Amino acid sequence: MTQTLSIAALFDTIVAIFAKAGLSPDQAAAVARTVTAGERDACKSHGIYRIEGCLRTVKAGKVNPLAEPTVTVDGAIVRVDAQGGFAPLAFERGAPVLAETARRHGLAAMAIGDCVHFSALWPEIEQLTAQGLAALAMCPSYSSVAPAGGIQALLGTNPLAFGWPRPGNPYVFDFATSVVARGEVELHRRAGKPIPEGWAIDAEGAATTDPTAALAGALLPFGGHKGSAISTMIELLAAAMIGENDSVTARKVLGDMTLSPTHGELVLAFDPRRFTADPFTAAEALLEAIAGQGARLPSQRRFAARAAAETEGITLTPDETARLERFLSLGLDAV
């Protein structure tokens, strides 16, 4: 039987799972906020599905469950040292300082270092757009994507997210620079379903629709050479430039892609009003013209799912409920 939980009840369950796994209250709450947000917004590849990988990473000793991130400011650069902990708390600790620094200078950059990263980026972007800022976030992950024209996993699935503040819901896009997130391929494997053509190649470089072969081979970048170049830019800015692991190093250090990788993240924040007196009238005209053609804006699906979850709750499958119960009762012995 399916089970329907309120957003608050799901959040409390996830906090309890991570507390039992040994995370500090602040780490557990920050991780639970991002996982709950994924499930609430029907982003299954970064919702409760991620809990198992996080628990495995704790059990393997590859994340500091008690980490207390530190924040320092150097001009328009905010540095957050995650101290080996999960990324969400590091972001939450740095975001108010990033926002204040962006308002002071017109723009600011936040470099998060030494964080274990498993999450979608839009929950972070929305924390900044809620303060009237435009924002761009990116990070490497671990080698699982072949560069355009190549056949071996080298780049990460490297997400890129952007947000622009609007009255009501912001304009936000957030996508992997591979055709899809690796999590989506893992969910197909778990469900015993083939993946569409064009997502991946196998270990020999041949096109495949078998998710297991795809995970052993490589995903493809979105948009051919264009996605490949954007992904490369992310390796340069959010790894080389900030002195953190690139996707090759993150995979080598981790040695196991059922765990979450350690690397950095780069977040840029802009105060649009510091660039021109009224940036918002022209922005609204553009966004309304796009929607006016019947095109959907990115994140509209998520916002609709969120509105539904807020009134109707979140429905979990019997398998998802059983997994949560197992994590809650067995803790790290469940993985």
46 is an active site residue:
yes
For residues 268 and 109, is the Cβ–Cβ distance under 8 A?
yes
Query: Which of ligand NDP, ligand PYC, none binds 299 (CB below 5-8 Å, type-dependent)?
Result: ligand NDP
Instruction: Rank residues 173 and 280 by Cβ distance to ligand NDP and give the closer one.
Output: 173
280 binds, among ligand PYC, ligand NDP, none (CB under 5 to 8 A by kind): none
List the structure tokens of 208.
């495949």
| Cα–Cα–Cα angle for 241, 129, 266, rounded to 5 degrees | 10
Cα gap 98→7, rounded to integer Å: 28
Tokens of 54: 């996080």
Residue 32's identity, in one-letter code, is: A
Residue nearest to ligand NDP (CB): 120
* Partner that binds at residue 174, options ligand NDP, ligand PYC, none, CB closer than 5 to 8 Å by kind: ligand NDP
Q: Is 45 a catalytic residue?
A: yes
Per-residue x/- mask for ligand NDP, residues 79 to 118, rule CB under 6 A? --------------------------------------x-
Which partner from the list ligand NDP, ligand PYC, none does 316 bind, CB cut-off 5 to 8 Å by kind?
none
**Nearest of 179, 151, 171, 144 to residue 254 by alpha carbon:** 144
CA-CA-CA-CA dihedral for 71, 73, 78, 82, to nearest 10? -20
Exactly one of 39, 92, 124, 184 is catalytic; name it.
184
153 Ramachandran zone, left/alpha/beta (phi>0; psi -120 to 50)? beta
Please, are residues 271 and 106 in contact by the beta-carbon 8 Å criterion? yes
> By C-beta, is 170 or 183 nearer to ligand PYC?
183
Q: What angle do CA 193, 196, 202 make, to 5 degrees?
A: 90
Q: Which residues are catalytic?
A: 45-46, 184
Q: Which residues bind ligand NDP (CB under 6 A)?
A: 43, 45-46, 117, 119-122, 139, 141, 157, 159, 161, 173-176, 180-181, 184, 296, 298-302
Q: Which residues bind ligand PYC (CB under 6 A)?
A: 45, 118, 141, 157, 176, 181-183
